[in-house]
Amino acid sequence: MSDFPDLRYFPIWSCFCNLFLKLTHYLKINLFHILWKRTFRLSVDTLNFSFVFCLEFVIHLQVVSFPVVQLHMNRTAMRASQKDFENAVNQVKLLKKDPGNEVKLKLYALYKQATEGPCDMPKPGVFDLINKAKWDAWNTLGTLPKETARQNYVDLVSSLSSSLESSSQVEPGTDRKSTAYETLMVTSEDGITKITLNRPAKKNAINIEMYHEIMRALKAASKDDSSITVLTGNGDYYSSGNDLTNFTDIPPGGVEEKAKNSAILLREFVGCFIDFPKPLIAMVNGPAVGISVTILGLFDAVYASDRATFHTPFSHLGQSPEGCSSYTFLKIMGPAKATEMLVFGKKLTAGEACAQGLVTEVFPDSTFQKEVWTRLKAFAKLPPNAMRISKEVIRNREKEKLHAVNAEECSVLQERWLSDECMNAVVNFLSRKSNL
Residue 124: what are its φ and ψ, rounded to 5°? Answer: -65, 165
Q: Determine the pLDDT at residue 358.
A: 98
Q: Determine the pLDDT at residue 435.
A: 52
Q: Which of 150-154, 264-268, 332-336 has the lowest mean pLDDT?
A: 150-154
Which CATH number fits the domain that encloses residue 220? 3.90.226.10
Task: Compute how many other C-beta atoms are within 10 angstroms of the C-beta atom of residue 75.
Answer: 11
Q: How far apart are CA 267 and CA 409, in angstroms?
A: 9
Is residue 135 domain-shared with residue 252, that is, in the same domain?
A: no
Q: Determine the pLDDT at residue 287.
A: 98
Q: How far apart are CA 294 and CA 87, in angstroms?
A: 46
Q: What is the DSSP letter of 206?
A: B
Q: What mean pLDDT comes out for the span 89-108?
A: 79
Looking at the chain, the whole-number percentage of residues with pLDDT higher than 90 is 55
Q: Report if residue 393 sits inside a domain.
A: yes
Q: Report if residue 201 sits inside a domain.
A: yes
Q: In what order do the strands lie in the sheet with 280-284?
A: 184-189, 192-197, 228-233, 280-284, 301-305, 361-363
Is residue 203 domain-shared with residue 90, that is, in the same domain?
A: no
| DSSP secondary structure string for all residues of 386-424 | HHHHHHHHHHHHHHHHHHHHHHHHHHHHHHHTTSHHHHH
Q: Report if residue 321 sits inside a domain.
A: yes
Long-range contacts of residues 400-405, Cβ cutoff 8 Å, at least 24 apart: 401/327, 402/274, 402/298, 402/324, 402/327, 402/328, 403/271, 403/274, 405/324, 405/326, 405/327
Q: What mean pLDDT comes out for the span 341-348?
A: 98
Classify 242 as helix, strand or coil: strand
Is residue 241 domain-shared with residue 110, that is, in the same domain?
A: no
Is residue 347 domain-shared with residue 427, that is, in the same domain?
A: yes
Whether pLDDT at 215 is above 90:
yes
Is residue 316 domain-shared with residue 391, that is, in the same domain?
A: yes
Q: Report if residue 40 sits inside a domain.
A: no
Mean pLDDT, the chain, rounded, equals 81
Looking at the chain, the whole-number percentage of residues with pLDDT higher than 70 is 74
Is residue 109 domain-shared with residue 252, that is, in the same domain?
A: no
For residue 105, what are the domain limits? 85-159
Q: What is the DSSP letter of 316?
A: G
For the ranges 42-51, 103-112, 231-240, the one whose mean pLDDT is highest: 231-240
CA contacts within 13 A on the Cβ side of 247: 22
Grade residue 22 by pLDDT with cuts at 50, 70 and 90: low
Number of domains in the chain: 2
Is residue 320 domain-shared with residue 380, that is, in the same domain?
A: yes
Grade residue 214 by pLDDT with cuts at 50, 70 and 90: very high
Q: Report if residue 55 sits inside a domain.
A: no
Is residue 118 domain-shared with residue 238, that is, in the same domain?
A: no
Residue 170: what are its φ and ψ, rounded to 5°? Answer: -105, 120
Is residue 147 domain-shared with residue 212, that is, in the same domain?
A: no
Residues 260-301 have pLDDT tens digits of 999 999 999 999 999 999 999 999 999 999 999 999 999 999
Whether pLDDT at 343 is above 80:
yes
CA contacts within 13 A on the Cβ side of 392: 7
Whether pLDDT at 400 is above 50:
yes
Q: Determine the pLDDT at residue 125.
A: 72
Q: pTM for this structure?
A: 0.64
Grade residue 432 by pLDDT with cuts at 50, 70 and 90: low
Q: Determine the pLDDT at residue 49.
A: 41
Is residue 122 domain-shared with residue 218, that is, in the same domain?
A: no
Q: Which of 92-101, 130-139, 284-293, 399-408 has the lowest mean pLDDT?
A: 92-101
Question: H-helix or E-strand containing 379?
Answer: helix 368-380
- Compute the Cα dihedral for 323, 301, 189, 227 and give only its sign: negative
Q: Are 193 and 229 in contact (CB under 8 A)?
A: yes
Classify 188 as helix, strand or coil: strand
The residues pairing with 327 across neighbouring beta strands, listed in sequence order, are none
Q: What mean pLDDT comes out for the span 404-433?
A: 88
Is residue 254 domain-shared with residue 384, that is, in the same domain?
A: yes
- Counting every residue written for the chain, the total comes to 436
